[in-house]
């Protein structure tokens, strides 16, 4: 063996048998050793960062650009400082623990868990490419603090809806903000889906079945979403569009001081806060108000009036089961249209009560 670590007789005999087997196969033992050494050196030269960038380039086309940016930022800000310079085949359980402690120290457990899922995918990619022997993330992840309890968006009790609409009508907020709030509540969409709303997304505006077709790139689940419009939504749309035309904007909800841009991300939320509902209600929370209310509706025979699938489809939620999501392509447009008309009529009633208060 090589000094100063001599090879034991047992290991020497085992090595001799390996070499003899190579010779019997008609191969040159010295050449085989050189090839194996080169493979090992090549594997060691592929750092985690190099393999991660290779994986990212091949994967990013599957995501929305905004999500791809988020993933890459997390790798650059958290994963690379800890793992980036380590040969990918040498990343160990202890290295992953060091990364975990980084997130725990900042108390960003949920972001940490999401980042580690991508680190795990990179390690599995390296394993498949022959650059690593194992993915150490799953075992190390058990040592991470439990993820915090989900904090749901504050939602207004239905009994306070008349009060809310009364305050909104009497407020001094600009008309665009008030219309954006009413539209978002009426259609159950997320704030970002309203912000970047443009006229061309409305189909059959004055037909019997008007629809708002929101493109996939604006949806959280990256799939096109159809919103059946109630009579009240179409009437509100006329007000929105008239104001947009006066402002000379391409956006249905343009900024007051710069009509070339849509309203800001927090414009509607701050309006809700200004009405006195900070900590009590959020724009997103109105989706929860609608969902809870409609899930509780029953007919004279105590049967549900609105199927849970219709409600989840209207909220554009991801299917809990991947296989169910793959096969359940039903849009439920007809029953959803009736459901959204019921919601619009209900909101009308709340506003009428507001004027009586």
Residues that are catalytic: 190, 220, 284, 287, 317, 327
What tokens does 255 get? 């900024």
Whole-angstrom CA distances from 314 to 210, 223, 224, 311, 343 are 15, 13, 12, 5, 12
Distance CA 236, CA 42 (A): 64
- Radius of gyration over alpha carbons of the chain, in Å? 29
Residue 75 DSSP one-character state: I
Are 254 and 247 contacting, i.e. CB atoms less than 8 angstroms apart?
yes
Distance CA 32, CA 166 (A): 83
Closest listed residue to residue 173, CA positions, set 266, 271, 269, 270: 271
Are 314 and 288 contacting, i.e. CB atoms less than 8 angstroms apart?
no
Within 13 Å of residue 342, how many CA atoms lie on the same side as its CB? 16
What residues contact residue 337 under an 8 Å CB cut-off, 6+ apart? 209, 228, 230
Q: In sequence order, what are the beta bridge partners of 211?
A: 203, 228
In the sheet that holds 202-203, the strands lie side by side as: 202-203, 211-214, 225-228
Q: In sequence order, what are the beta bridge partners of 213?
A: 226
Distance CA 212, CA 336 (A): 13
Angle among Cα 249, 254, 255 to the nearest 5 degrees reads: 125
User: Could you tell me the end-to-end alpha-carbon distance of the chain, in angstroms, rounded to an integer?
Assistant: 95
Q: Supply φ then ψ for residue 202, to 5 degrees.
A: -90, 130
């Amino acid at each position: 063996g090589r000094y100063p670590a001599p090879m034991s007789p047992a290991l020497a005999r085992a090595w001799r048998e390996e070499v003899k087997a190579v010779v019997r196969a008609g191969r040159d033992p010295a050449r085989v050793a050189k090839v194996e050494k080169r493979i090992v050196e090549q594997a060691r030269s592929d750092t985690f960062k190099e393999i991660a960038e290779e994986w990212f380039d091949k994967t990013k086309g599957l995501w929305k650009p905004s999500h791809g940016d988020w993933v890459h930022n997390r790798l650059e800000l958290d994963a690379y400082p800890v793992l980036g310079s380590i040969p990918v085949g040498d990343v160990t359980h202890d290295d992953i623990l060091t990364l975990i402690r980084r997130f725990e120290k900042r108390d960003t457990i949920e972001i940490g868990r999401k980042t580690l899922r991508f680190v795990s995918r990179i390690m599995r990619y390296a394993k498949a490419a022959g650059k690593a022997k194992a993915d150490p993330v799953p075992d190390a992840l058990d040592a991470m603090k439990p993820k915090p309890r989900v904090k749901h968006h504050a939602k207004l009790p239905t009994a306070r809806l008349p009060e809310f609409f009364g305050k909104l009508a009497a407020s001094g907020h600009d008309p665009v903000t008030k219309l954006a709030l009413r539209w978002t509540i009426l259609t159950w969409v997320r704030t970002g889906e309203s912000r970047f709303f443009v006229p061309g997304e409305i189909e059959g505006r004055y037909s019997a079945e008007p629809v708002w077709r929101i493109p996939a790139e604006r949806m959280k689940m990256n799939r096109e979403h159809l919103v059946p419009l109630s009579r009240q939504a179409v009437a509100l749309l006329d007000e929105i569009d008239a104001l947009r035309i006066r402002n000379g904007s391409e956006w249905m909800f343009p900024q007051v001081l710069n009509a070339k841009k849509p309203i800001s991300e927090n414009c509607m939320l701050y309006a809700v806060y200004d009405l006195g509902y900070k900590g009590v209600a959020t724009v997103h929370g109105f989706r929860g108000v609608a969902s809870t209310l409609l899930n509780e509706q029953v007919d004279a025979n105590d049967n549900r009036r609105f199927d849970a699938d219709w409600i989840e489809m209207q909220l554009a939620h991801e299917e809990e089961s991947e296989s169910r999501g793959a096969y359940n392509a039903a849009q439920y447009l007809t029953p959803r249209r009736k459901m959204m008309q019921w919601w619009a009529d209900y909101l009308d009633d709340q506003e009428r009560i507001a004027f009586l208060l």
